[in-house]
Amino acid sequence: MSFMTSETGVIIVGAGESAGSLAFSLRQQGYSRPIVLIGDESHPPYRRPPLSKAFLAGEVSAESLYLRSADSYARQNIELRLGLGVEAIDRAARSVTLFDGEVLSYDRLVLATGGHARRLLLPGADHPNVHYVRTITDIERLKKEFLPGKRLVVVGGGYIGLEVAAIGIKKGLGVTVIESLPRVLARVTAPEVSAFYERVHSEQGVKLLTHTGVEAFDGDPRVTGVRLGGGAIVPADIVVVGIGLVPNVELATAAGLLVDNGIVVDALTRSSDENIFAIGDCANHENSFLGRRLRMESVASAVEQARICAAAICEKPAPRSGPPWFWSDQYDLKLQMVGISQGYEQLAIRGDINGRSFSAFYLHDGEIIAIDTVNRTGDFAVGKRLLAAHARAEVAQLADESFELKSLLPA
Ligand code: FAD
């Protein structure tokens, strides 16, 4: 029987990046009532970014991904319930039912349920050598087959697909990437940046097929080939599908909460029920920096929302959102992005694309709305401040390396 039965506190559903951050933020803000984290994976909260990077490469252990040691939860009096999911929410009774039937009462409930990899709905997509990249378990399974000489076909030319391709090359696999859109990273970068990444991957030996759909998987019980729209077959020993994330909103929907591309929450992460909050990948939040709604899948956003949620629960002034940011590591390239580039009108490239060190500035109405930097951590650091300050600039200034970016910051 849980101690929650005597005194109710915060129940956090999900034990990922945002849930782990929230539990400790609550304690830092002075929250003294019980905190219970319930996660259906068997690991304590961990960082997912290395899953498609160093962990897949076999360079780091699963334990090194943990946000904190298991002991530190106990020291902060945070109860971790792992390997067990929440099945239902009873809003009227303010309780949740776990899959084993236990009922726990809450004072405040936080949904930090993340999302799951979008499935490819094709015959053969459930064969054992078709992989998705979301959890430690997914990668442990994939790593067993990720061996030199194997033919890897990656479906999806987004960050995760390209990171997996880069590790595949590093480990001596033959790699093909299939992307249905005309270019890789199409949803998040300018054509110039996509072209750069396409060139780098091709130079490294990746076979890139853009504007190409997957029609079927050949082979049974294992996929032996990926059949393309035009009928051609790409031979495959392993298939990795990286075609996006679907937010885990089933619990919220069943409980009657407002859901629209994620659980709809306000700027303080509160849902349509004042006692229920949602944070991280599963939440469609009112972003105070952008002045509009956003469901963001990034560590920075998960941590920021955790802090805002902790402040809201503790009834303290909440920090404002900053510009959203993200990173991706491929080969020797550190891509760091800040802001949302959609809707930009002008692009300025600073630095030398061929020299593998440049920044792309996206402008809307003269304001810098997003920056992608490749191997330019200095530009990224200044760039975050430029966005936060809603700085304006001319394309010619940004493209001129002798022009001081800092001079665009307010005095
Ligand atoms: P998650 O970390 O997904 O945690 C949610 C947890 O809730 C999961 O464990 C889930 O199983 C559990 N859960 C769901 N439903 C229930 C239930 N009913 N009961 C109990 N538990 C439940 N971001 C970056 O900024 N940079 C990167 O380079 C980057 N790389 C990435 C690479 C990969 C391979 C992946 C998968 C993600 C990457 N991300 C990156 C995104 C980042 O990891 C996510 O934005 C972040 O993990 C979101 O945290 P979260 O807490 O919202 O969700």
The CA 70 to ligand 1 mean position distance, Å, reads 19
Q: How many Cβ atoms from other residues are within 10 Å of residue 314's Cβ?
A: 16
Token readout for 15 is: 């034990």
Mean pLDDT of all residues belonging to the chain: 96
Q: List all residues 6 or more positions away from 285 whose beta carbon is below 8 Å from its beta carbon.
A: 265, 266, 267, 269, 278, 279, 293, 294, 295, 296, 305
What's the pLDDT tens digit per position in 249-290? 999 999 999 999 999 999 999 999 999 999 999 999 999 999
The CA 49 to ligand 1 mean position distance, Å, reads 9
Instruction: Say yes or no to pLDDT of 1 above 90.
Output: no
The CA 16 to ligand 1 mean position distance, Å, reads 6
Report which DSSP code applies to 221.
S
Q: List all residues 6 or more positions away from 37 whose beta carbon is below 8 Å from its beta carbon.
A: 12, 14, 15, 19, 20, 23, 45, 73, 78, 79, 80, 81
Indicate the pTM of the whole model. 0.96
C-alpha span between 406 and 126 (Å, rounded): 52
Residue 230, pLDDT score: 85
C-alpha span between 175 and 308 (Å, rounded): 42
**Residue 340 identity (one-letter amino acid):** I
- Using DSSP bridges, classify how beta strands 108-111 and 10-13 pair: parallel, antiparallel or unpaired: parallel
Residue 180: band (very low, low, confident or very high) from pLDDT cuts 50, 70, 90: very high
pLDDT (average), residues 86-94: 98
What's the pLDDT tens digit per position in 11-59? 999 999 999 999 999 999 999 999 999 999 999 999 999 999 999 999 9
Percentage of the chain exceeding pLDDT 70: 99
Pocket-forming residues, ligand 1, beta carbon under 6 Å: 13-19, 38-41, 48-49, 51-52, 85-86, 112-114, 133-134, 160, 248, 251, 280-282, 297-300, 302, 326-328
Q: Which atom of ligand 1 is nearest to the CA of 326?
A: 25
Q: Which atom of ligand 1 is nearest to the CA of 279?
A: 52
Residue listed under structure tokens 């956090």: 12
Q: Which atom of ligand 1 is nearest to the CA of 19?
A: 51
Residue 4, pLDDT score: 42
The CA 243 to ligand 1 mean position distance, Å, reads 15
Residue 408: band (very low, low, confident or very high) from pLDDT cuts 50, 70, 90: very high
